[in-house]
C-alpha cells in the first residue's frame, strides 16, 4: 500500500478509537449514537483500505445507514435523557470490569503482537463479481438463503414486539 494509504489508515484508525471512547464515555445516549456512526464510517474507510470496497460500501449502507438510523429513531422517540450517574457503576464492578478487559487485551494483544504475520498475500482482488460467485457457491448458498429467512423473521418479530398490545 502506498504512503497515502498508510497515512489514511492511521488517521482513520485514530478517529475510530477516539470516537469509540467518546461513545462509551458520553452521558447522553444520542451523542453516543452519533459517535458510533463516526466509528462505523471510519471503519468503512479502513475496510476500503484493506482491499474490500464491497464490504466498505455495505458497512455504510447497512450499519451507518440503517441500523444506526434505527437506534436514533428509538432514542428520539423514547425521548431518552442524559443518563443519571446516580449510583453509577459500583466501585467493585468497575474494578472487575477493568481487570477482565485488561486481561483480554493483554492476552490477545500479545498473540497479535508476536504473530509474525508474513507479507499479505499478493494478487488479492476483492471484486464484487468474485464476492457474488463465492456467496452463491455451494459453500455459502444455504447460509445466504437462511439469512434472508432470518431477516424476514426479525422483521415480523420487531413489528409484533413493538406494537401496542391493546390492538
Partner 1 sequence: MTGAPIVQHALLLSLLLFAIGALGVFLRRNIITVFMCIELMLNAVNLSFVAFSRQLGSLDGQVLVFFVMTVAAAEAAVGLAIIIALHRNKDTLDVDAFRSLKW
Partner 2 sequence: MNEPLPLTPLQQAIVSTLQVLLIFAANLGLFTAITYVERRLLAFMQFRLGPNRTGPFGLLQPVADGIKLFFKEELMPESATRWLFFLAPALSVASAFLALAVVPYGAPVVLPRWGLLPAWLQGRSFPLQIADLDVGLLYIFAITALGVYGIVMAGWASNNKYTLLGGLRSSAQMFSYELALGLSWVGVIMLAGSFRIQDIVASQQGFSWGLPNWNVFRQFPAFVIYLIAATAECARIPFDLPEGEAELVAGFHTEYSSMKFAMFQMGEYINLITVSALASNLFFGGWLSPIAFVPASFFWFLFKVLAFLFFFIWLRGTLPRFRYDQLMQFGWKLLVPAAAIWILATAGFLAFGPAARVAVLD
Which of partner 2, partner 1, none lies near 92, with the C-beta cut-off 5 to 8 A by kind? none
Binders of partner 2: how many residues, by CB under 8 A? 27
C-alpha Rg value of the chain to the nearest Å? 21
- Binding track over 35-74 against partner 1, x by CB under 8 A: -x--xx--x--xx-xxxx-xx--xx--xx--xx--xx--x
Which of partner 1, partner 2, none lies near 51, with the C-beta cut-off 5 to 8 A by kind? partner 1
> Which residue's C-alpha cell is 398490545?
165
At its nearest, how many Å lie between partner 2 and the CB of residue 123? 16
Strands (E), 66-133: none
Burial of residue 111 (number of CB atoms within 10 Å: 0-12, 13-18, 19+): exposed
When asked if residue 136 is in the footprint of partner 2 (CB under 8 A), the reply is yes
- Binding track over 21-40 against partner 2, x by CB under 8 A: ---------x---x--x---
Q: Give Dmax over CA atoms of the chain in angstroms.
A: 61
- Considering only 11, 76, 141, 155, the residue that binds partner 1 (CB under 8 A) is 155
Which of partner 1, partner 2, none lies near 128, with the C-beta cut-off 5 to 8 A by kind? partner 2
When asked if residue 157 is in the footprint of partner 1 (CB under 8 A), the reply is yes
Name residues whose C-beta falls within 8 Å of residue 42's C-beta, 6 or more positions apart in sequence.
12, 13, 15, 16, 19
* Cell (9 digits) for 35: 459517535
The crossing angle, in degrees rounded to 10, of helices 68-77 and 29-49 is 180
When asked if residue 18 is in the footprint of partner 2 (CB under 8 A), the reply is no
When asked if residue 100 is in the footprint of partner 1 (CB under 8 A), the reply is yes
Amino acid at each position: 500500500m502506498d504512503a497515502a494509504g498508510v497515512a489514511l489508515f492511521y488517521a482513520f484508525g485514530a478517529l475510530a478509537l477516539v470516537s469509540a471512547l467518546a461513545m462509551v464515555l458520553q452521558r447522553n445516549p444520542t451523542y453516543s449514537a452519533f459517535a458510533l456512526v463516526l466509528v462505523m464510517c471510519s471503519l468503512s474507510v479502513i475496510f476500503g483500505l484493506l482491499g474490500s470496497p464491497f464490504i466498505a460500501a455495505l458497512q455504510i449502507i447497512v450499519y451507518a445507514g440503517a441500523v444506526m438510523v434505527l437506534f436514533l429513531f428509538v432514542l428520539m422517540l423514547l425521548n431518552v435523557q442524559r443518563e443519571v450517574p446516580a449510583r453509577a457503576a459500583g466501585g467493585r464492578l468497575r474494578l472487575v470490569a477493568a481487570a477482565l478487559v485488561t486481561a483480554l487485551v493483554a492476552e490477545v494483544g500479545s498473540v497479535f503482537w508476536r504473530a509474525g504475520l508474513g507479507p499479505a498475500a499478493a494478487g488479492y482482488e476483492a471484486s464484487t463479481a468474485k464476492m457474488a460467485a463465492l456467496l452463491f457457491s455451494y459453500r455459502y448458498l444455504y447460509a445466504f438463503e437462511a439469512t434472508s429467512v432470518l431477516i424476514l423473521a426479525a422483521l415480523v418479530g420487531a413489528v409484533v414486539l413493538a406494537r401496542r398490545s391493546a390492538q
